[in-house]
Amino acid sequence: MRLKAVNPKDLSLETLRLFTGRTPLLTAGDRTACNTMTIGWGGLGELWQKPVCTVYVRQSRYTFQFMESHDYFTVSVLPESHRDVLLLCGTKSGRDTDKISSCGLTVCYGAGNAPFFDEAELVLVCRKLYTQDMNQDCVIDHGAAAPFYKEGDWHRMYIGEIVEAYHA
């Protein structure tokens, strides 16, 4: 593997900034089967005295099934040069295409056999701590939310403890 392991607590602010303003790949599954998709929304922070990463997944995504059936997920931030990969993984479903093979991504495995990609600049391996469905009754700013839920399909939020981190 090209990537180097770092203690998640030692990640610099600069490294963590890679996550914001970029569209990483969210991957879940194991050595037998997995799926990946591009995500635009997410966050980094702290919960229950643990470093955490939050992601939002619509239930219609094929990736959702893997997020539900596995205890770990990974977030791989690819270099800007991989825009074509992010476009494909954000527009095609793993139900119809083996996106990982089509994109020529190299799969590595972290804690819990969670798959991630060696081509990444930064990888966070996360263990699920908390999950909750977003729903209309909890929305405060309906103007902000409405454009994203014209057809329902509300996101499920996953907060994962960052148990491993890797960077190039």
| CB-count burial class (<10 Å; 0-12, 13-18, 19+) for 93 | middle
- Nearest distance, CB of residue 24 and ligand FMN, angstroms: 9
Residue 76 near ligand FMN by CB under 6 A: no
Q: Give the x/- contact pattern for ligand FMN in 114-143, rule: CB under 6 A.
A: ------------------------------
Which one of the spans 12-20, 30-38, 101-109, 116-124 is the region binding ligand FMN (CB under 6 A)? 30-38
Task: State phi, psi for 17 to the nearest 5 degrees.
Answer: -65, -20
Residue 41 near ligand FMN by CB under 6 A: yes
**Joined tokens for residue 45:** 């922070």
Report, in this order, helix, strand and coil percent for the chain, each rounded to 5: 30, 40, 35
**Distance (Å) of CA 145 to CA 71, 105, 106:** 28, 34, 36
Residue 91 near ligand FMN by CB under 6 A: yes
- Nearest distance, CB of residue 97 and ligand FMN, angstroms: 8
Binding site for ligand FMN (CB under 6 A): 23, 35, 37-41, 56-58, 61-63, 90-95
